[in-house]
Chains A and B, each alone.
Chain A
Amino acid sequence: MVSLGGDWLLGHDLPGADPVLDRFRQTPKPGSVSFESAALGDWDTGLITALMAIHKSAEASGVVVDDAGLPDGARKLIALALAVKEREGARRSAGEKGFLEQVGEDVLDAWQAGKELVSFLGELIQSFGRFFRGTATYLKSDVTQHIQEAGAEAFPIVSLISFLIGMIFAFVGVMQLNMFGAGIYTADLVAVAMVREMAPIMTAIIMAGRTGAAYAAQIGTMKVNEEIDALTTLGVNAIDFLVTPRVIALIVMMPLLTLYASLMGILGGLLVGLFMLDVSLVQYLEQTAAALKLNSLFGGLFKCIVYGSLVALAGCQQGIACGSSAMAVGQATTKAVVMGIVLIVVSASILTIIYINLGI
């Protein structure tokens, strides 16, 4: 016989069901448990959770529960909660994983992600094939819209960042080179660094954060809303319709943005050079022009096309592989940016080594 008294409210100290549960664990086990609630005051869910705990423990220990002495409302609520049996196999165990197990899983996940990316690249190439043959379904207005959004609207941020990077390079160059009286070579430093490497990489990283994320979010949200399923059931290839226009837009705009970024970088260096070096505008520009070779320019432009494709690839692949919730869209966006940046840096290293070996 359990006597319930006083107030059982969630916001205050709850007496709890422990005394009863302890009694169940002692031997001899009680045959049944019943309640009387004459002294019970205000109650709410706090009472119900304690009673549910008693019910569960009683069922496990084989003790019969007699609800008759409980208040009407409490009895009905408990009956409602117990009415639908727990579905078998639905409960998940919240097991903790060991460190090694976690590392192993992460490696397997990364391997799987790599395979998915390569597979997606294959589908993209097939889609390009259809584009060249004219058998792909897509909207031309989509391509121009993406060119506008990914390209034209990125000019402000690309200007700002490349200008500042040019200035930073010039500062570093001037500080070091002036010690050897070779300050004028700052012009070479800025020009070559920007055109060969910095403009392509910085532009690509800006694109990864700005456009790769946008692509992943757009396509991911479409996936969540079943819009991609709708395309598939109507026989429209989702890659042709959604992905390839975005990739094409980025590939078209990257060289233009990179050229522009190189120019802004050189201008930034010029500004610093004019103020900190004892050279004239013409001297600086002549030095810059002499340092730039066509190889550097084309090398840089080829790199930026590769980087742009990788950014679009990562963004669209993560979008298509997105799960079905808001959280999944966020994760897809994050992964798109991270994957884009990792791919950029890895390909930068590979291309640099190739260029060195080819003498470009």
Chain B
Amino acid sequence: MAYGDFLIQKDLNFTVNHGDVFIIMGGSGCGKSTLLKIMIGLKSPATGDITYDGESFWTAPADEQELMKRKFGTLFQSGALWSSMTLAENVGLPLTQYTDLDAEERREVASYKLSLVGLAGFEDYYPNEISGGMKKRAGLARAMAMDPEILFFDEPSAGLDPISAKLLDDLILELRESLGTTIVVVTHELASIFAIGNNCVFLDADTKTQLATGDPKELRDHHPNFVVRNFLQRGTAVPESDAA
């Protein structure tokens, strides 16, 4: 993937399984958010493709792509709520777009989604009237509005206090358990990675390619590449060749 002539990452090859909590991680500037944008259809890859259940995304025609995109829900880094609409209207817009519910029913669904993320009672607040953490949670409620098959999170715990981050982790696991949602998270918050991640890909900014895939705990303890172990051990890894 590249911006014009500026290469960001090459030779990426990994699989996200149904029901995974898949972590995309790497040092700053390695292209994690760009990879996420390619996966949700906001930016096209310079070469290569993404397939969902065997169906190719980037070679499909535009209306096929729209159908595939309906299965995604995305939480952007600062929530990306529409500033001219209340929280209930924000959560309700995807419902207007894709369902035949009337205004009363949409409001009920929006209330329910907002209470799932702990924002019951804030339906008629505008995004500029709530805190950063609340904006993120409202963004998550909107991402979940259509019960998507795949949820994408862009740095969900950025700016959240430890308790809120833990509650978010719990919510992510609950979504996987009860709704069978596949979750893709871009993050470098180690506590979350080990708490919820069961599969991952590690992107490296210097070699501009992926260095590892698999269970993060395995990679932390046993991966042969020092860069990967060092990242997952928060800089305390010993640069010896893998003996264990």
Q: Which residues of A contact B (CB under 8 A)?
A: 87, 137, 221-222, 225-227, 229-236
Interface-central residue, A226, A229, A230, by most chain B CB under 10 Å: A230
Q: How far is the CA of A261 from the CA of B115 in the complex (A)?
A: 52
Contact: B76 with A236, CB < 8 Å?
Answer: no
The interface residues of chain A lying within 8 Å CB-to-CB of B40 are 233
Q: How far is the CA of A221 from the CA of B37 in the complex (A)?
A: 20
Contact: B97 with A225, CB < 8 Å?
Answer: no
Contact: B66 with A226, CB < 8 Å?
Answer: no
Closest CB in chain B relative to A107 CB, distance in Å: 20
Contact: A227 with B41, CB < 8 Å?
Answer: no
The interface residues of chain B lying within 8 Å CB-to-CB of A234 are 93-94, 97
Q: Which residues of B contact A (CB under 8 A)?
A: 37, 40-42, 66, 69-70, 72, 74, 76-78, 80-83, 93-94, 96-98, 139, 142, 205-206
The interface residues of chain A lying within 8 Å CB-to-CB of B66 are 235
Q: How far is the CA of A225 from the CA of B135 in the complex (A)?
A: 12
Contact: B81 with A235, CB < 8 Å?
Answer: no
Contact: B76 with A229, CB < 8 Å?
Answer: yes
Q: How far is the CA of A235 from the CA of B96 in the complex (A)?
A: 11
The interface residues of chain B lying within 8 Å CB-to-CB of A236 are 93, 97
Q: What 7 pairs across the A-B complex have the smallest Cβ distances?
A: A226-B80, A230-B80, A226-B76, A234-B94, A233-B74, A227-B82, A227-B80
Closest CB in chain B relative to A245 CB, distance in Å: 12
Q: How far is the CA of A225 from the CA of B70 in the complex (A)?
A: 22
Contact: B97 with A230, CB < 8 Å?
Answer: no
Q: How far is the CA of A222 from the CA of B80 in the complex (A)?
A: 9
The interface residues of chain B lying within 8 Å CB-to-CB of A230 are 74, 76, 80-82, 139, 142
Contacting residue for A225 out of B42, B78, B142, CB 8 A: B78
The interface residues of chain A lying within 8 Å CB-to-CB of B77 are 226
Contact: A137 with B70, CB < 8 Å?
Answer: no
Contact: A226 with B78, CB < 8 Å?
Answer: yes
Known: A222-B83, A225-B83, A229-B42. A235 touches B98 (CB 8 A): yes
The interface residues of chain A lying within 8 Å CB-to-CB of B41 are 232-233
The interface residues of chain B lying within 8 Å CB-to-CB of A229 are 37, 42, 76, 80
Q: List 16 A-B contacts (CB under 8 A).
A: A87-B206, A137-B96, A137-B97, A225-B78, A226-B80, A227-B80, A227-B81, A229-B80, A230-B81, A231-B82, A233-B42, A233-B69, A234-B93, A235-B69, A235-B97, A236-B93
Q: How far is the CA of A103 from the CA of B21 in the complex (A)?
A: 53
Contacting residue for B80 out of A87, A221, A225, A235, CB 8 A: A225
Contact: A235 with B70, CB < 8 Å?
Answer: yes
The interface residues of chain B lying within 8 Å CB-to-CB of A235 are 66, 69-70, 94, 97-98
Given contacts A221-B83, A230-B76, 11 further A-B contacts (CB under 8 A): A87-B205, A137-B96, A225-B78, A226-B77, A229-B37, A230-B81, A230-B142, A231-B82, A233-B42, A233-B74, A235-B66
Interface-central residue, A87, A137, A226, A236, by most chain B CB under 10 Å: A226
Interface-central residue, B78, B94, B205, by most chain A CB under 10 Å: B94
Closest CB in chain A relative to B212 CB, distance in Å: 21
Q: How far is the CA of A233 from the CA of B71 in the complex (A)?
A: 10
The interface residues of chain B lying within 8 Å CB-to-CB of A226 are 76-78, 80
Closest CB in chain B relative to A228 CB, distance in Å: 9
Q: How far is the CA of A221 from the CA of B128 in the complex (A)?
A: 13
Q: Which residue of A lies closest to B43 (CB)?
A: A229
The interface residues of chain B lying within 8 Å CB-to-CB of A221 are 83
